[in-house]
Amino acid sequence: MRDIVTSERCKGLVLDMFRTFVEPLEDELGVKSNHRIGRFSDASKSQEYNDRIEAINFSLAHDDGQSARNLDIADVILVGVSRSGKTPTSLYLAMQHGIKAANYPLIPDDFERGQLPSSLAPYKRKCFGLTIDPERLASIRNERRPGSRYASLENCRYEVNEAEAMMRRAGIAWLSSTHKSIEEIATTILRDLRPDRLIY
């Protein structure tokens, strides 16, 4: 392309931004550029890339309490009522920080028992809770199941109150996702549980 636009047949003004910077670098470094565009290192050979892929696969396999296997290798286990933001937060942590994040919904059966699900008890120190304003929760749930008991404001208030009480009793740190972005939630989780993985 450059040969065509710089040939004598072409009468236009040519400003070659790449040559302007590349040629002085070639002279300074004593190396000739091969002028190949889009030459990037192979991301799949990067350990960081592989760690993120592994974290994403882990988060997908442990989404919404699908599996309690291998929780010992989880970096964090998000707990909270359904639709409080656990799934997007766990995937964000995996994709952006390579964090193996499982998430587990707290359900009415757990509230009746008054304690964390038994599969989470050994990993309580890895748990981080998400809660949400009941009115906001009812609005979100009504988009999914309009007019259901699941989405009723009364039920949402009950579930949120019970979940917060359970997390308080268990000594699990938690925050409200109501007015926070996923990035803010993730930063708080990393600060509390994995400060070594915070990237500023």
- HSE-CB for 198 with a 13 A CA cutoff: 13
Q: Which residue would you say has higher pLDDT here, 162 or 41?
A: 162
Domain harbouring 105, CATH code: 3.40.50
Phi, psi of 12 (to 5 degrees): -80, 165
71 and 6: one domain?
no
50 and 26: one domain?
no
129 and 32: one domain?
no
Cα–Cα distance between 123 and 118 in angstroms, integer? 10
74 and 152: one domain?
yes
Count Cβ neighbours within 10 Å for each residue of 120-141 and write b for 16 or more, e otherwise.
beebeebbbbbbbbbebbbebb
132 and 62: one domain?
yes
Write the pLDDT tens digit of every residue in 77-96: 999 999 999 999 999 999 99
What's the number of domains the chain is made of?
A: 2
Structure tokens at 1: 């392309």
Distances (CA, A) of 174 to 77, 95, 147, 164, 170: 12, 22, 29, 8, 11
**What is the extent of the structural domain holding 3?**
1-39
Write the pLDDT tens digit of every residue in 1-21: 777 877 888 877 888 777 778
